[in-house]
Amino acid sequence: MDLEALRNFLRSRFPQVAGDYLPEEHEGRLVLRLRVGAHHLRPGGTVSGPALFGLADVAFYLALLARIGPQALAVTTSGQIDFMRKPGPGRDVLARPEILKLGRRLAVGEVRLYSEGLPDPVARAALTYAIPPDPGGKAGA
């Protein structure tokens, strides 16, 4: 799936969040932009931890679909995230996913999150997805 296909997939399958996430390509690699809105913020104007976790999860999901196509009912089986810096106020957050293993049953990867225009990552996540053996199966949450 290319960038246009990923955007269409988000709009048709995840209409309730498609406005939050914009798939982009930076230097040949997939980047997912979180268009930060009021519903992502904690008191003080910081992007909330769960909003960052959600961004990492969707970014890895799209990176996976770009490789295996839209038909797969891949589901997250586990995630781990380190919150390292307060996101810069008033800045979108950009997620850079990386697939480290794409097996028959499990995909494993890492995502780094940056406040747009700032060099140091605000968070780093590891995600594992289960890939169902057939389109009808669903293995996790």
- Our CB check for a second copy shows the closer of 27 and 101 to be 101
120 lines the binding site for a second copy (CB under 8 A) = yes
Interstrand relation of 93-102 and 106-115 (parallel, antiparallel or unpaired): antiparallel
- Least Å distance, CB 98 to a second copy, is 10
16 lines the binding site for a second copy (CB under 8 A) = yes
Residue type, 127: L
105 lines the binding site for a second copy (CB under 8 A) = yes
- The DSSP 8-state label assigned to residue 130 in this structure reads E
Contact indicator for 48, 87 with CB cutoff of 8 Å: no
Pick one of 18, 22, 76, 118: the residue that binds a second copy (CB under 8 A). 76
Which residue is associated with the tokens 């104007």? 45
- Least Å distance, CB 95 to a second copy, is 13
40 Cβ contact partners less than 8 Å away, ≥ 6 residues apart: 20, 34, 47, 48, 51
- Least Å distance, CB 83 to a second copy, is 3
Pick one of 5, 7, 22, 79: the residue that binds a second copy (CB under 8 A). 79
Site string for a second copy, 31-70 (x = CB under 8 A): -------xx-xxx--xxxxxxxxx--x-------------
Residue among 94, 124, 119, 121 at smallest CA distance from 109? 124
| CA distances for 119 relative to 24, 87, 88, 96, 115, angstroms | 18, 11, 11, 13, 8
Binding residues (CB under 8 A) for a second copy: these are 13-14, 16, 38-39, 41-43, 46-54, 57, 75-87, 100-101, 103, 105-106, 108, 110, 120-124, 126, 128, 130, 138-141
